[in-house]
Amino acid sequence: MYKRVVTVKRLKEANEGEEEFLTEVSTIGKLNHMNLIKLWGYCAEGKHRMLVYEFMDNGSLAQHIRSNTLDWRKRIDIALGTAKGLAYTYEECLEWILHCDVKLQNILLDSNYQPKVSDFGLSNLRNRKDSKFSSFSKIQ
């Protein structure tokens, strides 16, 4: 029997329909990048929603940002890793996945303080071919 430590996130209440939730979970579940948290499973029953993620030994960046555990080299590596993870969702995926909630609590750190972007719950999926999003990333 294989034992695995996981993180389970219980969502307060479904804010979207079943089909939209399953589409988002499916899309995010297919992401594979070293700087993105891995979604291992989910539960969707009625209005109840639970997400099962890989466990991050060192918690969130928010827990360490003011501590002495992060020297400048680690901080730079965390910033670069976070940027690489977010760039992957925007540049390399068939659909744009805009995170919309990047904050210290959503940057998780593994046992080696390597960052993984998490909590795509407020993300927006956008089809690259849709003409109304052709200027979506431009600052106006």
Q: What is the pLDDT of residue 122?
A: 46
Low pLDDT (below 50) residues in the chain: 122, 133-140
- Active site (annotated) includes residue 71: no
Q: What is the pLDDT of residue 117?
A: 93
Q: What is the pLDDT of residue 16?
A: 57
* Residue 127, amino acid: N
89 touches 95 (CB < 8 A): no
- Global model pTM greater than 0.85: no
Q: What is the pLDDT of residue 74?
A: 97
**Residue 103 and residue 122: Cα distance in Å, rounded?**
12
Catalytic, out of 57, 71, 77, 101: 101
Highest CATH level, class, for 6-130: mainly alpha
* Helices within 4-132 (DSSP H only): 18-29, 72-87
Q: What is the pLDDT of residue 81?
A: 98
